[in-house]
Amino acid sequence: MIHLYGVVEELEALPPVDGVGAEPLERRRIEGLELVVSRTALEGSDVTQAAVLSHANVVEALMARSGAVLPARFGHAFSDEHELAAAVRTKASALARGLTLVRGCVEFGLRVLGDDKAPENGSRELSGRDYMRARLAEEQARWRLAEELHEPLARLSRASARFGGASSDLLQSAYLVPRQEVDVFGEHVRRFEAAHPHLTIVCTGPWPPYTFAANGEEDA
């Protein structure tokens, strides 16, 4: 089996880390694209925490040595060289576009949790209609607050994605941020957090751009 770590651009040299199963890393060039792979004896049912961590370590190391990395999610394995080549040829154009998109960028994840309390009706002073109006006004206020945070971050980013989450989530999103904008991005999050202490804001990263690589490599 051949395990895929990602498609890279301007890779100086393979990083001095082992691949999954302590196998050495190898380079492949297919359709003008450079891939980093390793041999593996793992099957789909053999997933271990050590294997997942090894994959993540390789991708992180590639980020430090490459002009661009389109990371593959763990589990992209091929039975032989022919299957790998066929998969890459099918997606070559999308992979090239993906590399252009993520070049010079890192990913940040954001989750914002706010109070999700329904308007109180314990006094029975609210009619059903008034209750629904109050509930709608609350939802609109939550939406405006989410937009107040998301829109400036999206403008700082090359791409962004929003996800559905739990009912208490005000915002759950990911941002593809150019490296030169990372400090400004972080400062904006900190200012928003200070202005809204009632919210719980969790910002993680920088990460390899897994979210924004998906469209290019999901079937490769």
Which of 52, 79, 103 is a domain's end point?
103
Q: Are residues 88 and 126 in the same domain?
A: no
Q: Which residues contact 74 (CB under 8 A, 6 or more apart)?
A: 47, 51, 52, 55, 56
Which of 103, 129, 147 is a domain's end point?
103
Which of 88, 103, 118 is a domain's end point?
103
Q: What is the rounded CA–CA span in Å between residue 199 and residue 191?
A: 12
Domain count within the chain: 2
Q: Are residues 85 and 114 in the same domain?
A: no
Question: For 3-21, what is each residue's pLDDT tens digit?
Answer: 999 999 999 899 999 999 8
Q: Which residues contact 173 (CB under 8 A, 6 or more apart)?
A: 109, 110, 150, 153, 160, 161, 162, 163
Segment among 40-44, 107-111, 184-188 with least mean pLDDT: 40-44
Q: Are residues 75 and 94 in the same domain?
A: yes
Within-domain flag for 169: yes
Q: What is the rounded CA–CA span in Å between residue 187 and residue 197?
A: 16
pLDDT at 126: 58
Task: Using the predicted structure, report yes or no on whether residue 207 has a pLDDT greater than 80.
Answer: yes
Task: Using the predicted structure, report yes or no on whether residue 175 has a pLDDT greater than 90.
Answer: yes
Q: Are residues 121 and 201 in the same domain?
A: yes
Q: How many CA atoms lie within 13 A of 92 on its CB side?
A: 11
Q: What string of H, E and C letters represents the secondary structure of 135-184?
A: HHHHHHHHHHHHHHHHHHHHHHCCEEEECCCCCCEEEEEEEEEEHHHHHH
Structure tokens at 153: 């971050």
Within-domain flag for 216: no
Q: Which residues contact 132 (CB under 8 A, 6 or more apart)?
A: none
Q: Are residues 97 and 125 in the same domain?
A: no
Q: Are residues 90 and 120 in the same domain?
A: no
Question: For 102-148, what is each residue's pLDDT tens digit?
Answer: 999 999 999 998 765 544 544 456 566 665 665 566 666 667 788 88
Within-domain flag for 13: yes
DSSP category for residue 117: P
Query: Domain range for residue 114?
Result: 105-210
* Under 8 Å between Cβ of 213 and 106: no
Q: Are residues 96 and 159 in the same domain?
A: no
Within-domain flag for 93: yes
Within-domain flag for 218: no
Q: What is the rounded CA–CA span in Å between residue 109 and residue 175?
A: 6
Q: Are residues 48 and 114 in the same domain?
A: no
Within-domain flag for 56: yes
Q: Are residues 148 and 59 in the same domain?
A: no
For residue 6, which of 87, 82, 70 has the smallest C-alpha distance?
70
| Residue 191, helix vs strand vs coil | helix
Task: Using the predicted structure, report yes or no on whether residue 60 has a pLDDT greater than 50.
Answer: yes
Q: Are residues 77 and 154 in the same domain?
A: no
Kindly report the CATH number assigned to the domain that includes residue 158: 3.30.70.600
Q: Are residues 8 and 35 in the same domain?
A: yes
